[in-house]
Amino acid sequence: MSNLHNLFDTLHKLNAGSGREGLFYSLPQLEKAGIGPLSKLPVSIRLVLESVLRNCDGKRVTEQNVRALANWKSKGPRTEEIPFVVARIVLQDFTGVPLLVDLAAMRSAVARLGKNPKLIEPLVPVDLVVDHSVQVDFSGSADSMRRNLDMEFQRNRERYQFLKWGMQAFETFKVVPPGIGIVHQVNLEYLAKGVLSSPATVNGSTSTVYYPDTLVGTDSHTTMINGLGIVGWGVGGIEAEAGLLGQPVYFLTPDVVGVHLQGSLQEGVTATDLALTVTQMLRKAKVVGKFVEFYGSGAAALPVVDRATIANMAPEYGATMGFFPIDEESVAYLRATGRSEEHCRLYEAYYRAQGMFGIPKKGELSYSADLELDLSSVVPSVAGPKRPQDRIELPNLKREFVASFTKSVAENGFGKSSDDLSKTFQVALQNGYVPGGGSQEPISTGQSLARNTNPLTELEMANNRPTPDVITQTTVAVDGPIRHGSVLIAAITSCTNTSNPSVMLAAGLLARKAIERGLQVNPLVKTSLAPGSRVVTDYLEKSGLQPYLDKLGFSVVGYGCTTCIGNSGPLATPIDEAISKHDLVAASVLSGNRNFEARVHQSIKANFLMSPPLVVAFALAGRIDIDMVHEPIGKGKDGRDVYLKDIWPSLREIRDLLQTTLHPEVFRQLYRDFAQLNPKWNEIPSSTGNVYQWDTASTYIQEPPFFLNFSLRPGEISEIKGARALGIFGDSVTTDHISPAGSIKKSAPAGRYLLEHGVPFEEFNSYGSRRGNDRVMTRGTFANVRIKNLMVPGTEGGVTRCFASQDETASEAISIFDAASAYQKEGTPLVVVAGQEYGTGSSRDWAAKGTALLGVRAVIAQSFERIHRSNLVGMGVLPLQFKDGVNAQSLKLEGTETYAVRGLGAGLKPQQDLTLEITRANGRTESIPVACRIDTPIEIDYYQHGGILPYVLRQLLAAVPKPGSPA
Ligand code: SF4
């Protein structure tokens, strides 16, 4: 129980409603005390300030930190770092399992030092939602979900056992089991409280202190919670570990960009269209690393679910947050999702007392930059084919696709000729493959999967739902032409949209209208629906729309990320073969937020983000090169052309359904008893004890080497010299390029390792699911099949040239892992050279961990993505930035050079210039200045300690003078 301070007389009473009283740190009082002009500050800054004030202890957080943030200047220099102590932490399983592995490894290290392993314990509540592991192995049939869940448990049993160990070993570590929902949607609908409370003492008496719900999550889309007025963003697993061990999350005082929203969305325009428009607009406005705060009458009129859709895509527009302040809509959302009346009253009372209730109007607050968006100007849009910010207005999609199809690869196109577009290739699936991705399960010759082709009866249409016996599978021949531009994956996926009932209901309504007109989806299209929570199924069932989605192949495949994270499962082998044989530019359509190359599926090159109803529409059309305004989607049962406008639901239809489908009791019931919703979780056995008993035979969970040979004192910062380049990369290298999450190839170093350890190919699972095993992950670093190392021009995949002295194959391409191993053997340090936006994409600590374990000492790039840069420092890897206009091309780097970094050592300062010395193969040396991107003083400490984890462990051990008793 913490002892509360009363700095600046800010500890005030709060009437929490329902006869309850408590305390809170009053920001209006802080302003009255003359500390700063708080009521003009952006709301997001004030919420962070509350944490800084409340946690001020003179050590981790000082009075100077409070004063500095209270005097935030909209256009001031950004040199101060803010120590932000968050109230809670959310994790998903891909990032959460390795985090738990690190915690377990820290406990092992503490036990080896003869101290009490319980010293390592989360100090704030941690919730891990298992959502990233479900894969679409089966789709398009009623039992898809059950079969996918079976596969998921079969593949992930060891990981789930380990999570169960964590649940019993750590007191504040909770797990939402698989099959319940997606982390950010579960956070929005259930975990988030808006206001939290803790018992505390003041002058010896006990009280309750109330404070804002704030968090960090180990997933970049943690920002979805900003839609509910909660401050939070994605951090790397290593920062989250420090956060949960009581360290503040440090970040540079941000600029806050105000986006004034006015007007309202037009008929036919969805929240997804708005999110894509905002993404494009804010990318152009260069909001990378900044807070974005939405305000104005347009923002006030948006329901929380629309705000959450926009907030979710903050990583795509590059902002740290996409924040909406708190107002009546926020309270209404908490009420509608089953939070108690008592809590809703407390929530409103708290923010009113803080002077932060209501969406600000224009001119009320000062922002670093002001942007305007009239919501009525938003039009139906998609984004693609390779980046989420490349928005295309729907009527222009055909033209734009054809243009990128013929553009050269250098111009980010596909480098094809326009004649290729008219070629078609026949694929036949009668030889026993289920097109819905079930290629792992052959079915007998002559049999093939089909959508249900039975028309609904008039009675069923009148009742809005078919009777169960009509929904039966009948078979149709599954063969047909595919071509460039064929849509082969159509996925209603991703918490971005599945948390928003308006777009999910729109998809169902469009499916119903399509069926009524007699349209069908070609079974060559792999269709799937992965709701972000069971609530979605409840309202799609109650509204009678799910059977229509089923009939088009959009049956529920699971409650998890699926296609959004690249777990789209295999395509039928003949389709995959045809794509590969003819080098087809096939398309996916998905309601997700990311479409980088090889993210959705390794064989699909053109990936388009769009709203759920458009996903259904493009599945029906079967091709991406269609002008949805002037060309028909297909022919109806009456032989007449059917256009998108004929089946597009009206806003009124959607609103009518919304009112009848969302009930607080449903949320309460579906979030009450997880075990009952997924009994398979109960069947997983769990080991016990405070220290994990590592199984050296496991290919999923291994003790990482981070704390082996751990000493209580850090070493000195040493210079880097004689380093070789492990890779030279271009722009926009994503964390998925560096540390892929998807499937593992047999021939890749990780695949060879698994085969050597007796894991058959069918049980490889994905890289993401094997992040608990550093041996697999180090081998998987830079192993994305699409990464292009400019040291080996014309190749793709994780290959390089190796100049290790004992290696005689420098002219041949070898795997990056093999090269790194050879360099490590002879003690040669390594660097990586890259272009703009290095490490863009999802936050992924293995992108930094793997880099460090390969022996890379520095990454020299033109610019870095925010989280990845801090993760590199967090793993003891030095991020260096070229000066403007300098890059690998201007320096004519080939990979034959050696590198030295001069100026490293004691006295290193954040953001100081260092010297990069490049020695060419002919012995000529040149020196250039580079900026050291260790940005803050605390990062210097992390770097000196060899990373954040050794730093935190040494701090914790230093705080325990006497040896405790090992468990
Ligand atoms: S659905 Fe997509 S955005 Fe949401 S948590 Fe999963 S991977 Fe992240």
pLDDT, tens digit (0-9, with 9 covering 90-100), for 775-785: 999 999 999 98
How many beta carbons lie within 10 A of that of residue 812, not counting itself? 11
Q: What is the pLDDT of residue 148?
A: 95
Which ligand 1 atom is the nearest neighbour of the CA of 312?
3
Query: Ligand 1 pocket test: which of 127, 182, 226, 498 has the largest number of ligand atoms within 8 Å of its C-beta?
Result: 182
User: Residues 839-845: what's their mean pLDDT?
Assistant: 83
Checking if the pLDDT of 462 tops 50, the result is: no
Query: Ligand 1 pocket test: which of 561, 591, 594 has the largest number of ligand atoms within 8 Å of its C-beta?
Result: 561
Which ligand 1 atom is the nearest neighbour of the CA of 593?
3
CA of 769 to the centre of ligand 1 (A): 15
Which ligand 1 atom is the nearest neighbour of the CA of 842?
8
C-beta separation of 782 from 798 below 8 A: yes
Instruction: Name the nearest CA neighbour of 531 among 521, 520, 546, 543.
Output: 546
CA atoms of 939 and 944, how far apart (whole Å): 8
Q: What is the pLDDT of residue 456?
A: 34
> Which residue's CA is the nearest one to ligand 1's atom 1?
494
| Residues 6+ away with beta carbon under 8 Å from 785 | 598, 602, 740, 745, 796, 797
Per-residue pLDDT band for 322 (boundaries 50, 70, 90) equals very high
Cis (ω within 30 of 0) for the bond into 385? Answer: yes
Which ligand 1 atom is the nearest neighbour of the CA of 592?
2
CA of 403 to the centre of ligand 1 (A): 30
- The predicted-structure confidence for 779-824, as pLDDT tens digits, reads as follows 999 999 889 999 999 898 999 999 997 555 667 899 999 999 999 9
Q: Strand 424-428 relative to strand 641-642: parallel, antiparallel, unpaired? A: unpaired
Per-residue pLDDT band for 583 (boundaries 50, 70, 90) equals very high
DSSP H/E element including 721: strand 720-728
Checking if the pLDDT of 403 tops 70, the result is: yes
Residue 482 sits at the vertex; the CA angle it makes with 477 and 483, to the nearest 5 degrees, is 165
Percent of the chain surpassing pLDDT 70: 93
Gyration radius (Cα) of the chain, Å:
27
CA atoms of 504 and 546, how far apart (whole Å): 10
CA of 826 to the centre of ligand 1 (A): 41
Tracing tokens 């069923």 back to the chain, one arrives at 460
CA of 278 to the centre of ligand 1 (A): 19
Which ligand 1 atom is the nearest neighbour of the CA of 532?
1
- What tokens does 508 get? 């169902």
Q: Strand 11-17 relative to strand 20-25: parallel, antiparallel, unpaired? A: antiparallel
Which amino acid is located at 706 in the chain?
F
Checking if the pLDDT of 472 tops 50, the result is: no
CA of 146 to the centre of ligand 1 (A): 21
CA of 842 to the centre of ligand 1 (A): 10
CA of 845 to the centre of ligand 1 (A): 16
CA atoms of 250 and 82, how far apart (whole Å): 5
User: Residues 90-116: what's their mean pLDDT?
Assistant: 94
Virtual torsion, Cα 846, 847, 851, 857, nearest 10 deg = -110
Which ligand 1 atom is the nearest neighbour of the CA of 220?
8
User: Residues 380-400: what's their mean pLDDT?
Assistant: 96
Buried b (16+ CB within 10 A) or exposed e, 136-162: bbbbbbeebbebbbebbbebbebbbbb
- The predicted-structure confidence for 179-221, as pLDDT tens digits, reads as follows 999 999 999 999 999 999 999 999 888 999 999 999 999 998 9
Query: Ligand 1 pocket test: which of 131, 223, 310 has the largest number of ligand atoms within 8 Å of its C-beta?
Result: 131
Ligand 1 residue neighbourhood (C-beta within 6 Å)? 92, 131, 182-184, 219, 221, 494-496, 561, 564-565, 592-593
Checking if the pLDDT of 542 tops 90, the result is: yes
- The predicted-structure confidence for 848-879, as pLDDT tens digits, reads as follows 999 999 999 999 999 998 779 989 999 999 99
Q: What is the pLDDT of residue 448?
A: 30
Q: What is the pLDDT of residue 810?
A: 67
CA of 535 to the centre of ligand 1 (A): 17
| Residue 533 DSSP label | B
Per-residue pLDDT band for 960 (boundaries 50, 70, 90) equals low
Higher pLDDT, 557 or 449: 557
Task: Please tell me the pTM assigned to this model.
Answer: 0.85
Checking if the pLDDT of 965 tops 60, the result is: no
Query: Ligand 1 pocket test: which of 495, 498, 594 has the largest number of ligand atoms within 8 Å of its C-beta?
Result: 495
- Angle, helix 501-517 to helix 651-661, in steps of 10 degrees: 120
- Paired with 642 in beta bridges are 634
Query: Ligand 1 pocket test: which of 183, 187, 843 has the largest number of ligand atoms within 8 Å of its C-beta?
Result: 183
Checking if the pLDDT of 464 tops 70, the result is: no
| Residues 6+ away with beta carbon under 8 Å from 867 | 220, 234, 235, 236, 239, 839, 843
- The predicted-structure confidence for 270-289, as pLDDT tens digits, reads as follows 999 999 999 999 999 999 88
CA atoms of 415 and 405, how far apart (whole Å): 6
CA of 245 to the centre of ligand 1 (A): 25
- The predicted-structure confidence for 330-372, as pLDDT tens digits, reads as follows 999 999 999 999 999 999 999 999 999 999 999 999 999 999 9
CA of 875 to the centre of ligand 1 (A): 25
Q: What is the pLDDT of residue 81?
A: 85
C-beta separation of 24 from 10 below 8 A: no
Per-residue pLDDT band for 477 (boundaries 50, 70, 90) equals very low
Which ligand 1 atom is the nearest neighbour of the CA of 183?
5
C-beta separation of 831 from 726 below 8 A: yes
Query: Ligand 1 pocket test: which of 180, 185, 562, 565 has the largest number of ligand atoms within 8 Å of its C-beta?
Result: 565
What separation, in Å, do the N-terminal and C-terminal C-alpha atoms of the chain show?
Answer: 25
Which ligand 1 atom is the nearest neighbour of the CA of 494?
1
Count, in order, helices (H) and strands (E) of the chain.
34, 35
- pLDDT mean across residues, the chain: 90
> Which residue's CA is the nearest one to ligand 1's atom 6?
561
Higher pLDDT, 409 or 77: 77
> Which residue's CA is the nearest one to ligand 1's atom 4?
495
CA atoms of 753 and 325, how far apart (whole Å): 50
CA of 182 to the centre of ligand 1 (A): 7
Q: What is the pLDDT of residue 901?
A: 98
Instruction: Name the nearest CA neighbour of 221 among 844, 957, 849.
Output: 844
User: What is the maximal distance between C-alpha atoms in the chain?
Assistant: 84
Beta strands in 145-263, from DSSP E residues, in sequence order: 173-176, 195-202, 205-212, 214-217, 231-234, 249-252, 256-262
CA of 339 to the centre of ligand 1 (A): 24
Checking if the pLDDT of 77 tops 60, the result is: yes
| Residues 6+ away with beta carbon under 8 Å from 743 | 602, 764, 766, 767
- Angle, helix 948-958 to helix 937-944, in steps of 10 degrees: 90
Query: Ligand 1 pocket test: which of 127, 221, 609 has the largest number of ligand atoms within 8 Å of its C-beta?
Result: 221
Which ligand 1 atom is the nearest neighbour of the CA of 185?
4
Q: What is the pLDDT of residue 35?
A: 97
Checking if the pLDDT of 741 tops 90, the result is: no
CA of 184 to the centre of ligand 1 (A): 7
In terms of Cβ atoms closer than 10 Å to its own Cβ (0-12, 13-18, 19+), residue 920 is middle
Q: What is the pLDDT of residue 809?
A: 60
CA atoms of 39 and 45, how far apart (whole Å): 11
User: Residues 297-315: what's their mean pLDDT?
Assistant: 97
- The predicted-structure confidence for 121-142, as pLDDT tens digits, reads as follows 998 999 999 999 999 999 999 9
> Which residue's CA is the nearest one to ligand 1's atom 7?
565
| Residues 6+ away with beta carbon under 8 Å from 644 | 617, 628, 629, 633
CA of 222 to the centre of ligand 1 (A): 9
| Residues 6+ away with beta carbon under 8 Å from 800 | 726, 727, 789, 791, 792, 813, 814, 815, 816, 819, 895
CA of 187 to the centre of ligand 1 (A): 12
> Which residue's CA is the nearest one to ligand 1's atom 8?
221
